[in-house]
Amino acid sequence: MSPAERLELYRQMVLIRRFEEKCAEMYALAKIGGFCHLYIGEEAVAVGAISVLRPDDYVLSAYRDHGHCLAKGSDPKRVMAELFGKQTGLCKGKGGSMHLYDVERRFMGGYAIVGGHIALAAGVAFGLTYQQQDQVVLCFFGEGAVPTGVFHEAMNIAALWKLPVLFVCENNRYGMGTPVERASAIYDIAQTALAYDMGHSTVDGMDVLAVHEAVGRIVTDMRRTPRPYFLEARTYRFMGHSMSDPAHGHYRTKAEIDEHKKRDPILLFGQRLIELGEANADRLRTIDAQMQQVVQGAIDFADTSPPAPPEELFTDVLA
Amino acid sequence: MSPAERLELYRQMVLIRRFEEKCAEMYALAKIGGFCHLYIGEEAVAVGAISVLRPDDYVLSAYRDHGHCLAKGSDPKRVMAELFGKQTGLCKGKGGSMHLYDVERRFMGGYAIVGGHIALAAGVAFGLTYQQQDQVVLCFFGEGAVPTGVFHEAMNIAALWKLPVLFVCENNRYGMGTPVERASAIYDIAQTALAYDMGHSTVDGMDVLAVHEAVGRIVTDMRRTPRPYFLEARTYRFMGHSMSDPAHGHYRTKAEIDEHKKRDPILLFGQRLIELGEANADRLRTIDAQMQQVVQGAIDFADTSPPAPPEELFTDVLA
Amino acid sequence: MAELLYREALNQALREEMRRDPRIFLMGEEVGFYNGAFKVSKGLLDEFGARRVIDTPITEGGFTGVGIGAAMVGLRPIIEMMTFNFAILALDQIVNNAVKVRYMSGGQLAVPIVIRGPGGPSRQLAAQHSQSLESLFCHIAGLSVVAPATPRDAKGLLKSAIRQNNPIIFIEGQELYSTKGDVPDGDYTIPIGRAEVKREGADVTIIAWSKMLLLALRVADDLAKDGVNAEVVDLRTLKPVDYDTLLGSVRKTGRAVIVEEGWKFCGVGAQIATDLYHRAFDAFDAPVERVTGYDVPMPYAKHLEQLALPTAERVIEAVKKTLYR
Amino acid sequence: MAELLYREALNQALREEMRRDPRIFLMGEEVGFYNGAFKVSKGLLDEFGARRVIDTPITEGGFTGVGIGAAMVGLRPIIEMMTFNFAILALDQIVNNAVKVRYMSGGQLAVPIVIRGPGGPSRQLAAQHSQSLESLFCHIAGLSVVAPATPRDAKGLLKSAIRQNNPIIFIEGQELYSTKGDVPDGDYTIPIGRAEVKREGADVTIIAWSKMLLLALRVADDLAKDGVNAEVVDLRTLKPVDYDTLLGSVRKTGRAVIVEEGWKFCGVGAQIATDLYHRAFDAFDAPVERVTGYDVPMPYAKHLEQLALPTAERVIEAVKKTLYR
Ligand SMILES: Cc1ncc(C[n+]2csc(CCOP(=O)(O)OP(=O)(O)O)c2C)c(N)n1
Ligand SMILES: Cc1ncc(C[n+]2csc(CCOP(=O)(O)OP(=O)(O)O)c2C)c(N)n1
Ligand SMILES: [Mg+2]
Ligand SMILES: [Mg+2]
């Protein structure tokens, strides 16, 4: 990986961070509605993992999907327009925050039924195998999805049929207000793969390079020998579960959050880049300023875009 | 375990075997209808496991449930009458072969949606814990249920909440025509418990004493420290999947079946009793003759019993 | 009499019933430590402890099955669906176990279980989180389905649901949780299977439930200015239907409009309309009109979402059609 | 023209379509090595191999989701439910993914998927294996539902279902697999959304589908002896409904009886009756009669099972009611 590539990872993480900080503002202004789940604190997982992929590889995510969509290369303008419910949005405003899609970039959607999309991801991988293609599928979901039946059905099918899908469990310790210890019989979530003789490991989800390297190894192997893999990325959500949830309900303390913020993935990676001598504080500040501009551009675009015409209510139901 | 107790196990296995051989005849005569799944070849699992229980312990099973119901002590007359669809049947003829219930004997039902009853079993165990009782629950199901989502949801809940339920997987190598190798990513099914940090082991399901001892150890421990356990019993089905399925479709050979029949659990146990000097061939023949009488009595009872009156169609819908 | 929020009324019902009967427990996602995703179970963990207020993993099928199993050994579970969208994942347990165990066992078992939670489309939650599924449950033989619209009905009906001995679906209006209304003090119940005339009128009968009742009442006020005197009947229990009350009203008005937030095809309104025709064919001076959500997945964009759902305009138009105006 | 079994006609449709389009695959439990639980897929594994005829673990939700995902990348899956009873376990995938992915993505994706298998009560299979669930699927916005009654319709409609580009529920009559009928040779299709008058008559319209069509035709013959000339309309596609054909018939007869094997409440018959009244209020000389399965779980005992389902007697009685006889 070249210094330029590492800087690109930094750029993407900052873009996602600034993008979502603005989302919070826009939500407060009621320009964004519905459920809005921010990825702040977890950026290293999506950026590190997706940076390994080819443009023609596939990604699916749950409802906390802004980061994955942007990391897959979607235009921030069209993402923000989608959140604003505008005609120029990725999905013409029909999907919204929880259901971003950018099929051209092989981002196959964000899904709001916990666990449900994991079977779809196995299906996309099945489709690739069926068509003898060599792409891989990355499927992101939270640790809260691991107890769901559909997750297990998909794991067994993927392992049994050797499907090229990487299950990336973003273990941010909580499913809404429920800590993993009260939702799962196992604390080391990666262990779930033992039930399927599936390769598995755990990675520091706050370290973008660690994620990049781990996923790099896995995907290289997967292209050579198609078979699924389960990666648990240990991360942490800095904000509330959704915009309607306080950063720390009484289910976790402010102190706990502050502790984790010391390992803010952007902070850590910035320091790393400086240590590596690949950037200095100024360079990082410049990137930050640039990303803020990009986000402002997205806001302006979304703001000035027209809403979808009423007829759109009845289109896209049937093909 | 006393010689008398061992003979009782033999008696039960023979009862179930003779009972089901008659079921096959009665099905051919259309006195029994619907789907009818015989347990022939697997008797050692139900008899060995249930023999450990107290009368107030609970048992649930799938649709292949004649053996479990009889082993739990249900009157063969009322079981046969149920299969005949008569008013005197356990369920007044409303349940049939796949849905036997004998609540007085704590046999909480046979269920026909693969995997569905496993959550109910966890629920019964939850109810016992809630009421601070010390009974345990035995839940029987085939290896074909292990890939189902509901099985995994129940496993996680049972392990997380330390419920006193023993999951007995009757691994008879096939789910209908599908060998376990083509349905499950793992061959050693017991390994599935690793995903839940649950105690687990495998036992020879053709050896009634081995099953009795294994379940004995597990249940004793479970009463002391409530927590679930997963036991894989390796067994084999001598008949077709159901009465509408030939003993060997082209999914398995007659030779394979014959090979397994050499380890017929009743044959093996009979030899064992003779070796132990606890019975001789005559004694065993006598038991067999007695059981044939019991079964004939059940047939006569069922045959001469009245059908449920038409009004029964509308009763038992609501309490 | 006190003015309470719909969610507070439900909370009182849960609290009072749990105090009354130790066999009752509440189980679901975030019902305990989090005090409920919509705060309906607020304070219940503190009062009743983790034994009776139980947080679950995200396993709707699993914990619904657990509830059914517990009911089979004498407990009285209340299973909360964080929203009814997720009840689809528990549908096999509901259809094949909860409502059939009693019948299959020839009456040896009963399954007194309440499956409750918020239902109905809600502000921009989009296709997977914004839909009305009551008609699916209504189709299932042996299931009762309740959907209260006011705090008073919510409390009284939830108590009745908890006290009866069969599986029952109790759908709370996700958008009604913060609505206010008078609630009698202390213990009272509202019988299951009884509709209520929420507004008297002589010209046309508007039948609605849950959130749509509020729409119907608003429309009735507007119509009054127009000289149209609409009677508004709150179905309250969707199944079994209280045909006496409905027939009493349509025999008087000769006209009916059914307002339903869910999809039209095979919706509750279809069943009611057909039954009303069948029982009072000659009472109708005009065909029954149905105003429903359109047969599309719910869009995220606010302006499209509003178009997807019944509006005052559409209801008024339907009423006028029945009056040949 | 050849006389074929219903199952053979379906097998031909699958075979011919799979030959035509390599993107089509068949996935489900026992569809391959076992040749299908009901032998509908007989010989397909031999011809197309394990790549295109895929046996699955018992995971209806999982493999239905896999099918949907495969459709999202350009394939054309046919998902077999061993019986439709098990489709309840796939309902979340069908409702929230198959029919919504296109809409949520603003038209970026299509999900051409056929979910097919046997449905309807069947000989003493009892409560969990013997039920008609078509009305549940019909309620879902964006789903088409087909239920052919004859070998000819089965083949032609399955081909149409496979060739269209949206999720579609294709319910085969579990009890019809061994029925015989003439089937045109080679390639032909029957359009989705078109009912067919299977017997002409002037006195009353009997509307039915799947197994109930055979009952309706039998009853029509009996009625003829009685001097009652019944027209029998085979709905064939339950959604969307072919109202032109239905209205043509009821405008002629002024009377309608809908025979439905499933539960009554919110059944397809309720929707059809309501819509017919709405579109042809004055055409009816009598209320529409519905003959349905009773609202009970299916009992095992043969004599009770027979009582639970529509019988010739009940249909005749209903017809006579519409004729005020
Ligand atoms: C099947 C289902 N049940 C419940 C919910 C409500 N819900 C939305 S997010 C969530 C928590 C999920 O936690 P996790 O999977 O860890 O993802 P995270 O939010 O932590 O990223 C729950 C319970 C849902 N969307 N789907
Ligand atoms: C959810 C569900 N899917 C499919 C079926 C059809 N089916 C009945 S038995 C069976 C095989 C089950 O095999 P296994 O669990 O190993 O039990 P065994 O019959 O071998 O005792 C299948 C697929 C069903 N009953 N339920
Ligand atoms: Mg989480
Ligand atoms: Mg098996």
Residues in chain A: 319
Q: Do C267 and D263 touch (CB under 8 A)?
A: no
CA of A178 to the centre of ligand 3 (A): 8
Please report the beta strands in C154-224, taking only residues with DSSP state E, as ranges in sequence order: 168-173, 180-183, 196-199, 204-208
CA distance linking residue A154 with residue A228, whole number of Å: 10
DSSP character string of A128-144 = HHHTT----EEEEEEGG
Q: Tens digits of per-residue pLDDT, D229-258?
A: 999 999 999 999 999 999 999 999 999 999
Q: Distance between the two ends of chain B, CA-based, in angstroms? A: 43
Select the residue of D127, D266, D288 nearest C100 (Cβ to Cβ).
D127
Which one of D58, D123, D308 has the shortest CB-CB distance to B33?
Answer: D123
For B175, the token pair is: 């789910």
- Amino acid identity, position A318: L
Task: Please list every residue in chain D whose beta carbon sits closer than 8 Å to the beta carbon of residue A135.
Answer: none
**All residues with CB under 5 Å from ion ligand 4:** B 142-144, 172, 175
Of residues B228, B130, B229, B112, the one with CA closest to residue C73: B130
Percent of chain B whose pLDDT exceeds 90: 97
pLDDT over threshold 90, residue D1: no
Distance (Å) of CA B94 to CA B25, B90, B185, D83: 21, 9, 38, 21
Q: What are the 10-residue block averages of pLDDT along chain A, 319 residues in total?
A: 96 98 97 98 98 98 98 98 98 98 98 98 98 98 98 98 98 97 97 98 98 98 98 97 84 94 98 97 97 98 98 97
Of all residues in chain B, the percent with pLDDT exceeding 70 is 100
E strand map for chain C: 2-5, 24-28, 53-55, 76-80, 114-119, 144-146, 168-173, 180-183, 196-199, 204-208, 230-234, 237-239, 256-260, 289-292
Chain A residue with Cα closest to D99 = A317
Give the model's pLDDT for residue A247.
79
Beta carbon pairs, C and D, within 8 Å: 138
Q: Is the pLDDT of residue C259 over 80?
A: yes
Q: Which residues pair with C46 in a beta bridge?
A: none
Q: Which residues of D belong to the active site?
A: 60, 129
Give the pLDDT score at B190. Answer: 98
Q: Is residue C129 annotated as part of the catalytic site, yes or no?
A: yes
Q: With CB atoms and an 8 Å threshold, state whether A111 touches C128.
A: yes
What's chain A's average pLDDT? 97
Express as a percent the part of chain D with pLDDT over 70.
Answer: 100
For residues D137 and C136, what is the distance between their CA atoms, to the nearest angstrom?
A: 9
pLDDT-derived band at B248, boundaries 50, 70, 90: confident
pLDDT per residue over C296-309, tens digit each? 999 999 999 999 99
Tell me which residue has its CA closest to atom 8 in ligand 1.
A114
Whether A96 sits inside 8 A of C126 (CB atoms) is yes
B-chain residues near D127 (CB < 8 A):
94-95, 99
Answer whether C128 sits within 8 Å of D104, measured CB to CB. Answer: yes
Per-residue pLDDT, averaged over C265-281, amounts to 97
C-beta atoms of A99 and C300 within 8 A: yes
Q: Is A181 exposed, middle or buried (0-12, 13-18, 19+ CB in 10 A)?
A: exposed
Q: Is B206 on the interface with C (CB under 8 A)?
A: no
- Give the Cβ contact number of residue D9 at 10 Å: 29
Q: Which of C60, C175, C231, C289 is catalytic?
A: C60
**Model confidence over C32-87: pLDDT tens digits?**
999 999 999 999 999 999 999 999 999 999 999 999 999 999 999 999 999 999 99
Contacts of D102 in chain A (CB under 8 A): 316-319
Residue reference for tokens 């178009």 = C307
Report whether the peptide linkage leading into residue D240 is cis, meaning its omega lies within 30 degrees of zero. Answer: yes
Q: B53 near B86, Cβ under 8 Å?
A: no
Confidence of residue B149 (pLDDT cuts 50, 70, 90): very high
Can you tell me which residue has the tokens 């992915």?
Answer: D101
**Packed helices C6-20 and C151-163: angle between N→C axes, nearest 10 degrees:** 30
Residue A233 beta carbon below 6 angstroms from any ligand 1 atom: no
For B154-172, the pLDDT digits (tens) are: 999 999 999 999 999 999 9
For the question of residue C196 being annotated catalytic, the response is no
Per-residue pLDDT at B86 exceeds 80? yes
Q: Is residue B112 lining ligand 2, measured as CB closer than 6 Å? A: yes
Q: CA quadruple D206, D210, D215, D221: dihedral positive or negative?
A: positive
Contact (CB<8Å) D102/A318: yes
Q: Could you tell me which chains touch chain D, where touching means 3 or more CB pairs under 8 A?
A: A, B, C
Chain C residues inside the 8 Å CB shell of B107: none
Contact status, residue C95 vs residue C151, Cβ threshold 8 Å: no
Q: Identify any residues that bridge with B140 across adjacent strands, giving them in sequence order.
A: B168
Answer whether A174 contacts ligand 1 (Cβ < 6 A): yes
Backbone angles phi, psi at C137, to 5 degrees: -70, -35
- The C-alpha atoms of residue B47 and residue D276 are separated, in whole angstroms, by 60
Q: Please, what sign has the CA dihedral across residues D59, D61, D63, D66?
A: negative
| Residue in chain A nearest D93 by alpha carbon | A116
pLDDT of residue C71: 98
Please state, as a whole number, how many other Cβ atoms lie within 10 Å of the Cβ of residue A211: 28
**DSSP element (H, E) containing C176:** none
Residue from A99, A118, A152, A176 whose mutation best tests the ligand 1 pocket (most atoms within 8 A of CB): A176
Any idea which residue has 């009245």 for tokens? B306
pLDDT value of position A244: 87
Confidence of residue B250 (pLDDT cuts 50, 70, 90): confident
CA distance C319 to B319: 41
Strand order across the D230-234 sheet = D196-199, D230-234, D204-208, D256-260, D289-292
Give the sign of the dihedral formed by CA C9, CA C10, CA C15, CA C18: positive
Listed residue (D119, D58, D65) closest to D96, CA to CA: D65
Point out the ligand 1 atom lying closest to the alpha carbon of residue A112.
25
Quote the tokens at residue C92: 């096999």
What type of residue sits at position B297?
Answer: G
Residue C155, amino acid: K
User: Of D51, D96, D166, which is closest to A116 when you measure between CB atoms?
Assistant: D96
How many percent of chain C have pLDDT more than 90? 99
The token pair that represents B205 in the structure block? 């399901």
Contacts with C140 (C-beta within 8 Å, 6 or more apart), sequence order: C94, C95, C99, D263
Q: What is the DSSP letter of D250?
A: H
As a whole number, mean pLDDT of residues B285-303 equals 98
pLDDT band at B42 (very low <50, low <70, confident <90, very high): very high
As to burial, measured by CB atoms within 10 angstroms (0-12 exposed, 13-18 middle, 19+ buried), residue C278 is middle
**Distance to chain D for C185, nearest Cα, Å:** 36
Q: How far apart are CA D246 and CA D206, in angstroms?
A: 10
pLDDT value at position B245?
A: 86
- Contacts (Cβ under 8 Å, ≥6 apart) of C148: C154, C157, C158, C172, C173, C190, C210, C236
Q: Which of A90, A128, A316 has the CB atom closest to D103's CB atom?
A: A316
Return the ∠ at Cα C108 (arms to C105 and C113), rounded to 5°. Answer: 90
pLDDT for position D325: 85
User: Mutual orientation of helices B76-83 and B281-304 as an angle, nearest 10°?
Assistant: 50
Helix (H) / strand (E) element for D92: namely: helix D91-92
- For residue C167, pLDDT over 90 is answered with yes
**Alpha-carbon gap, residue A96 to A16, rounded angstroms:** 17
Distance from CA of D160 to the nearest CA of B (A): 31
- pLDDT of the residue at A131: 97
The protein residue whose alpha carbon is closest to atom 20 in ligand 1 is: A175
**Taking a C-beta distance cutoff of 8 angstroms, is the pair C255, C285 a contact?**
yes
Q: Among the bound ligands, name the one nearest to the CA of residue A144.
A: 1
Phi-psi region of D184 (alpha: psi -120 to 50; beta: other; left: phi over 0): beta
- For the segment B102-130, the average pLDDT, to the nearest whole number, is 98
CB neighbours of residue A164 within 10 Å: 25
Which positions ≥6 away from A16 have C-beta within 8 Å? A39, A43, A46, A47, A66, A67, A70, A71
Neighbours of A40 (CB within 10 A): 22
Q: Which DSSP state fits B307? A: B
Predicted pLDDT of residue B306 = 98
Cis peptide before A307 (omega within 30 of 0): no
pLDDT score at B249: 74
Indicate if ipTM > 0.90.
Answer: yes
